[in-house]
Chain A
Amino acid sequence: MSWWQEVKDQITESQVWTSIFRHGYDDTPRNRVLMVSGNVWLHLHPSKVRRHATRMRFTWCMGGITFLMFLVTVVTGVYLMFYYRPVAQYAYADMKYLEFDMPFGMLMRNMHRWAAHGMVIAVWLHMFRVFLTGSYKPPREFNWVVGVILLVLTLLLSFTGYLLPWDQLAIWAVTVGSNMGRATPVLGHEGPFKELLGVNPLYDARAFIFGGGEVGPHTLLRFYILHCVFIPLVTSLFLAVHFWRIRRDGFSGPAL
C-alpha cells in the first residue's frame, strides 16, 4: 500500500470525515441510491426515476430551467440588494453607481434581468410541455393548479422588479400595467359600478397596490418589499409543494 493510500485511508476513516460523509463514491447500486437519498438537495428527486423522464426530448428540461433561473435571480438579487436603496431620491443614482462603480455590478444586473425574462419564457414553455404530454391528468391535477399559481407568481415577481430601476421605462410600464387596478369593477375608481363603495383615486384597488394615488416613492418601497421578500417567500412555499407533489406522484409517462 502506497503512503498516499495510507494517508487517504486515515483521513476518510477518521471520525470527522465519517461524520460528514456517510458513504463513499464507488459506483455501486447502494451508493447510487445513497447519493440521492442521503443528500438534502438531491433528495428532491426519488432515488429511481422512470427512464423516459431523464430524456430531454420528453421534458425539454423546462421546469428545471425555470427553477435554475429562479436561483440565479436569488443569488444575483442578493448581490444587487447590497448596493440599492429603495428610496426615490437614491434609487436611480444607485443604479448608475451599481452599473459603473461596483465590481461586476453591471454583469449582476444584466444576469438578474435576463434570468427574470428567461424565467417567464421557461415557465410558459414548461406549461406548454406539461399540457402536450397530458401530465396534468390524474393523479397530478392539483399540481397543475399549483403550477398555475407559480406562473402568476413568476409574472408578479418580474413585474414588481420592473419598477425598481426607477427610470422612465420602469414607472410608465408599471403605471400602464397597474392601471387595470383602477378599472376593477366596484373596487376601482374608474371601473363599472364605482359608486357602490364610494371609491376614489386615493382609496381604491390601485391605491392599495401603489400605496397611494399614483406611482410614487411609497410604491417603490412597497414593490421592493414585495419583490425581495414577500413574493419570493410565497413562491418558495409553492415550489416546495410543487416539487413534493412530483416526488410523491412520480414523473408522468406512458403506461407500462
Chain B
Amino acid sequence: MATVSSPGSPAGKRVEVSIKKAMGPGDDKVHTWPHLVRAEFLCSVLVLFGLMVWALLVNAPLEEPANPSRTPNPSKAPWYFLGLQEMLVFFDPWHAGVVLPSLIIVGLMVIPYIDINPKGNGYYTFRERKWEILTFFLGFHVLWISLIVIGTLLRGPGWNWFWPWEYWDPHKVEALTSVNLPYLLGIRDYFWAAIFGLVAILGFFVVGTIAMYAWVIWLKGSEFMERWGAVRFGITSFLFLNMVAVVIKMLMRHMFNIKYVMETPWINV
C-alpha cells in the first residue's frame, strides 16, 4: 500500500490506496521499444515482401494509347468508385455522383458526434453497440463494398448485367421499359405527377423521421432521446433515411422497373 493524496479528496488529506491505483491509469503500459516497434517492423517486412512478390508476378495494366474518339464499352471508373457508378443505374448523375458522395463524406465525419453511447470505447463488442454496428454494416458492406463488387464483376457492355459465366455481348438487347412511379399508379398528367412525386419524397422523410423518433423512444426510452438532443437526432435520422431511400430506390428499380419517383423539368429523383 502507498500513501498518496487522491484527486477527489480534500486538500492535504492523505488516503491509503493500492500501489496499482497509485500508479494511475498507465499501469498496463509497456515500452514502445521493443514491444510496439518490433511488431511494426515485422509487419512492414512481411507486407513489403508480399507487395514485392505481387509486383514481380502481376504487371500493372497498360492498354493502347489514349484515343478520345474511341470510347470503350463498358467505360468504367477506377474500381473504388464503381459503387457510385452503379448508383447511376438508380439515380441521375447529380444525385449519384455529387449528392450521395457528399452525404457519405459528411455522414462519416459526424459519426463521433451523433454516437453518444459511452460503451464500446476501445474494445470489440457487438452487444453493447448493436445499432451502430448494424448501421455501419448497411452503409459500408451492403451499400459500398457489394456495389463495388457488382460494378466490377457483373457489369458489362452497356452497363448491362452479366453473370461471370456469361459472354460479354456488346449487342445484348435489354428492353428499357422503366416507368415513373406516378405513371405506374395511373397518374398521366405531368403536373400532378410532379406534385405526387414531391409529396411522396417529402412524405417519406416526414413519416420516416416520425417513425424513427417513435422507434428510438420505444427502444431506448425518452430519457435517452433527451440526452441525444434534437440536432443529433435530426442529423442521424436524415442520414439514415437517405441510406434507406437508396435501398428502396434500388428495390423499386430491380423489382418494378421504376425510373423516377418525381420528374420535373428541372430535377428528377
Contacts and interface: CB of A to CB of B under 8 A. Distances in A.
Q: Do A and B come from one complex?
A: yes
Interface of A: 29, 32-33, 35-36, 42, 45-54, 56, 58, 61, 64-65, 68, 72, 88, 92, 95-96, 99, 106-107, 109-115, 117-118, 120, 124, 127-128, 131-138, 140-142, 144-145, 148, 151-152, 155, 158-159, 162, 165-173, 175-177, 179-180, 182-185, 188, 190-193, 214-216, 251-256
A56 B43 CA distance: 9
Interface string B13-55: 0000000000001111111111111011001100110011011
Contacts of B60: 109-110, 112-114
B39 A114 contact: no
Given A35-B33, A141-B112, A252 B121 contact: yes
A158 B78 CA distance: 9
Contact of A137 (B30, B32, B92, B112): B112
B67 interface: yes
Contact of B267 (A47, A115, A171, A192): A192
Closest 4 CB pairs of A and B: A180-B97, A183-B93, A141-B112, A110-B55
A166 B66 contact: yes
B63 A169 contact: yes
Nearest to B110: A145
Contact of A64 (B27, B43, B59): B43
Contact of B78 (A33, A61, A151, A159): A159
A173 B94 contact: no
Contact of A51 (B29, B118, B121): B29
Contact of B47 (A65, A141, A167, A176): A65
Contacts of A35: 33, 37
Given A134-B125, A185-B99, 6 more contacts: A36-B32, A88-B66, A111-B52, A132-B124, A179-B97, A180-B84
A176 B77 contact: yes
B121 A92 contact: no
B76 A173 contact: yes
B226 to A, nearest CB: 19
Contact of B55 (A58, A111, A141): A111
B47 A54 contact: no
Given A168-B63, A183-B93, A148 B108 contact: yes
A184 to B, nearest CB: 5
Nearest to A186: B94
A114 B58 CA distance: 9
Given A110-B55, A172-B75, A191-B94, A32 B80 contact: no
Nearest to B145: A124
B85 interface: yes
A52 B59 CA distance: 39
A136 B32 contact: no
Contact of B32 (A45, A167, A185): A45
B68 interface: yes
Nearest to A180: B97
Contact of A172 (B33, B72, B108): B72
Contact of A54 (B35, B44, B92): B35
Interface in B75-107: 75-81, 84-85, 92-94, 96-99, 101, 105
A58 B35 CA distance: 15
26 contacts: A36-B31, A47-B32, A54-B36, A106-B59, A109-B60, A110-B59, A111-B52, A111-B55, A112-B60, A114-B51, A114-B54, A124-B140, A131-B136, A134-B125, A137-B112, A137-B118, A137-B121, A138-B121, A141-B112, A148-B108, A169-B61, A172-B76, A175-B75, A191-B94, A192-B266, A216-B68
Contacts of A171: 66-68
A216 B133 CA distance: 44
A176 B122 contact: no
B71 interface: yes
Nearest to A56: B39
A21 to B, nearest CB: 15
Contact of A168 (B64, B92, B136, B266): B64
Nearest to A59: B39
